[in-house]
Every structure is written in structure tokens, then in C-alpha cells.
Amino acid sequence: MDVNLIEKLVCPNCKKNFSIFKVLERRNNDLVGGILRCSCSSYVVVEGIVVFDLDKNRELVQVMTTCTDYGKIRKTVLKFFVSDKHFEAIHSGKSFSEVVNVVYNKSFADYLVYRYSCKSFFDSIPFFVCMKQGLILDAGCGAGHFSNLMSQYMPESKIVSVDQNFVSLLIARNFFGMNNLLCFNMDRIFPFEDRSFDTILCNDTFHYLNNKQFIALEFQRTIKKSGAIFISHLHNALKENYFAGTPLKPEEYKSLFSSSRLYSNDSILKDFFLNDILNLSINSFISDINNSQTISLVCSEDKNLFKKYFNLSKFFYKRMPTYSLNPIYKVKKDGEKTVLELNYPSIIFKKEHELKVDFLPQLVKLDNKDLFAKETLLRLMKLFVFVKPLEKVFEKLIGTCDC
Ligand SMILES: C[S@@+](CC[C@H](N)C(=O)[O-])C[C@H]1O[C@@H](n2cnc3c(N)ncnc32)[C@H](O)[C@@H]1O
């Protein structure tokens, strides 16, 4: 937990700011283990993650108050959140793929390993060009894929990553290097002051939330007047979706957010892929929206946000000087050629996540001599065959490109 973020947090009960009551371990600005206090309660910081679960805090604060050496109680404290098996997997130096296959079931592990090949990933990407820089909330961040991407594409911004699942946050910290991590259930009052954030992103999550009306109000309370909320990849209740959650109809989503517009994800993706644009100026026909399997909602009082954005690829490639092969591709050498073959991990994954637009080609054949040519790279980046690397996650870092 970056100590500079602590002054921006408020207690959900007394609404007062926190002070650091006890430091058990601190590495520069990173508070790894400790206790925060406001005028009514104490909240623990475990592995750099602030825990807002009051029941857990009651017991943990006692354990941590009487101790001075975080190293000695680290395992005891972590037992409140994570099994020994999962703890060992996360800290054993195993690869990302190995760890998530120990911690989650196969289907969710595949979702995480091949996150950069899921429709629910692409549906969010075009919005990066119009996100407001500054303090950004990744609401329901999961293992941290989007938090990390935003921190790479928007290095001037500070990303706050929130999830109710402590183990996912631990993975976000260990593999994605995130350090403003808060563990709380968004069904409760958020620990932020009014008008805190420049951008709120909630991707592939809102349809899973129970208390949508309350959470929509919390998003609108905590976003700045000039800020923007992106609720991307929303399951549409009028259409079928795998692991649907509790989706609403498009009009019902819209009724939760004032000054908002809905977009069909397929239209946004087609524009991104074919025309290199993001068009937020359109008022889509409700029939188009109702017919879309997934939609995105953008909410902002800033009318200037709702315009047409051009040359999206420039934004992405400029900020992508190094690249990795998307892990969904298998590499084969065939004499003078290198063959990249799209290799879905399962039939279910393909059905759930396959894209209707032409990203991720089935087969890419490249002359070995052209493999690292700039034109080849740009073409393959545009198709998401090459993606922005996360060495710890992808393992196979291919190289650098002066785009
Ligand atoms: C399908 S994952 C999406 C993760 C991430 N946004 C992404 O797109 O990669 C949904 C996430 O929402 C989190 N979540 C669900 N209900 C929540 C709640 N009430 N409060 C906080 N997080 C919640 C889950 O733990 C999970 O990590």
C-alpha cells in the first residue's frame, strides 16, 4: 500500500481520514504490514493490502497490535485469508499459469492466463484513449490485468485496485506489481471521499454485483465532476451469456447512471478494428443495444467526452515499445517460416470468449527474415497477436520495437 494513498482514504463509518497507527513492515513508501486508525475503528494492512472487512479486522487487529515483527506473524495473519496450499503456490516462484491453476478452477484459471484473448478484455480496450488521467479506480479488479495495463498506458496516473477476493489481490500484487490494493465488498460504503476519482473502470464485473443500485450511486458519489465512469462489457439480460451473473436489461443499466450513454461492444470493436476510431458521439438505437450480447456504459458530466476519437492505434503502439507473443498462440518452426497458431485452451473457452471481429487470426505464417520487421510487428500488434508484455505473467518476452 503506497502510504501516499492513505490520506485519500476515509473510514466508511465515521468518514474520517486514517493515520498509520502501527508499522510492522515498510519498504520505502510501501506499507506491507501495519494498522490504520480513524476515530472509530482500526483496519489492518496485510501484504500491502488494506482490509475493510470489520469481522476479520476485529481479530486481526488484536494479533497485530501485540506484535512488532511482521515476519513472525505473517503466516498466522495470512491464514485468515488464504489456505496454506494457495499461499505456498503464490510464494513458491511458480509461474503465473501454474499459480492460478492451483488457486482457481480450470475455467477461471484459463480466463486469467488467456485474459488478453477474451472478448471481455477487448471490449474495454478502446476506452483507454479517452480515460481521464489522475486517480483511477479499478472496481472489481480481479487479478489485476486491467490495473496493470492502465498503469502502463497511463503512467502519469495512480491506480487504486479494489476487489472482495483477497487471493486475487495477492496475485495482483505479486504478478502485476500493483500496490494500491483494497480488499472490500462494494456492497458497502466505499472508503473514499466524494469526488475522489478522475476515472472509474468496472470491467466484466457489474453484472455480478448484488446491490447494483447502491454501487452505481457510490461510483457517482466518488467520481469527480470532470471525471468519467466506464462500465465495460456488461451482460445484457435480453441475450444469453455464459456465467451471466444477474444481468439487467440495457435500459435498466442506464437508469442507474445519470448523464450516461450505452454502446454496443460489437460496434465499438468493429470501429476500433476497421476504422481505428472510437465514436462516443453516437446515440445508438435502443434496438441495436438490445440486440447486443454485451454492452458498455459511459457516464460523465463532461459533454466533451462524448466525441469521436481518431487514430487509436497511435495511442496504443506509441505506448508499446516492448512486446510479447500473446500466450494463446503456439509457435512452430517450419523451415524458413515461423507459424503462429491460435490455440484455444478448451471448447468452452472458445465458445465464451471468441471474437466476432477479426482480431487474433487463426494462423499467421511469417518469413523468419521478416519476423522482427517493423511493418510485421505493427500489423500483428493491431491484431493482438503481439501484446504489451508482462514478463512475470507471459514468460516469453520477445523483444522491443521502435514504433
Ligand atoms: C469476472 S472478474 C473481472 C475482473 C477484472 N475486472 C477483469 O476484467 O479482468 C469479476 C471480479 O469482481 C469481483 N467482485 C464480485 N463482486 C464483488 C463485490 N461485491 N465487491 C468487490 N468485488 C467483487 C470478483 O471477486 C472478481 O474478481
Say which residues have a Cβ less than 8 Å from residue 399's Cβ, sequence separation at least 6: 322, 323, 372
To test the pocket of ligand 1, the residue of 160, 164, 199 to mutate (highest count of ligand atoms within 8 Å of its CB) is 164
Res 285: pLDDT: 84
To test the pocket of ligand 1, the residue of 123, 136, 208 to mutate (highest count of ligand atoms within 8 Å of its CB) is 208
Kindly list the domain boundaries of the chain, sorted by start residue: 3-81, 114-311, 322-400
Could you identify the atom of ligand 1 that is nearest to the CA of residue 187? 19
- Summarize the chain as % helix, strand, coil (round to 5): 35, 25, 35
**Mean pLDDT value across residues 44-52:** 96
Q: Confidence class of residue 398 from pLDDT cuts 50, 70 and 90?
A: low
Ligand 1 interacting residues, C-beta cut-off 6 A: 115, 140-142, 145-146, 163-165, 168, 185-187, 203-205, 208-209
- What percent of the chain lies above the pLDDT cut of 70? 97
Helix-helix angle 84-91:96-103, to 10 degrees: 170
This prediction has a pTM of: 0.94
**Mean pLDDT value across residues 91-113:** 92
Q: Confidence class of residue 402 from pLDDT cuts 50, 70 and 90?
A: low
Judge contact between 135 and 126, C-beta under 8 A.
Answer: no
Res 372: pLDDT: 74
Q: Which of 112-126, 133-147, 189-203, 346-360 has the lowest mean pLDDT?
A: 346-360
Judge contact between 162 and 140, C-beta under 8 A.
Answer: yes
Strand residue runs (E) in 88-247: 135-139, 158-163, 181-183, 197-203, 223-235
For 234, counting Cβ atoms within 10 Å of its Cβ (0-12 exposed, 13-18 middle, 19+ buried), the class is buried
To test the pocket of ligand 1, the residue of 127, 163, 204, 218 to mutate (highest count of ligand atoms within 8 Å of its CB) is 163
Q: For residue 43, is pLDDT > 90? A: yes
Instruction: Supply 364's cell numbers.
Output: 499467421
Say which residues have a Cβ less than 8 Å from residue 267's Cβ, sequence separation at least 6: 284, 288, 292
Res 397: pLDDT: 57
Judge contact between 109 and 100, C-beta under 8 A.
Answer: yes
In terms of Cα–Cα distance, which of 134, 122, 184, 129 is closest to 158? 134
- What percent of the chain lies above the pLDDT cut of 90? 71
Q: Confidence class of residue 316 from pLDDT cuts 50, 70 and 90?
A: confident
| pLDDT tens by residue, 138-154 | 999 999 999 999 998 89
| pLDDT tens by residue, 213-259 | 999 999 999 999 999 999 999 999 999 988 999 999 999 999 999 99
The amino acid occupying position 328 is I
| pLDDT tens by residue, 111-139 | 999 998 999 999 999 999 999 999 999 99
Class of domain 114-311: alpha beta
Question: Rounded to an integer, what distance in angstroms lies between the CA atom of residue 172 and that of residue 161?
Answer: 9
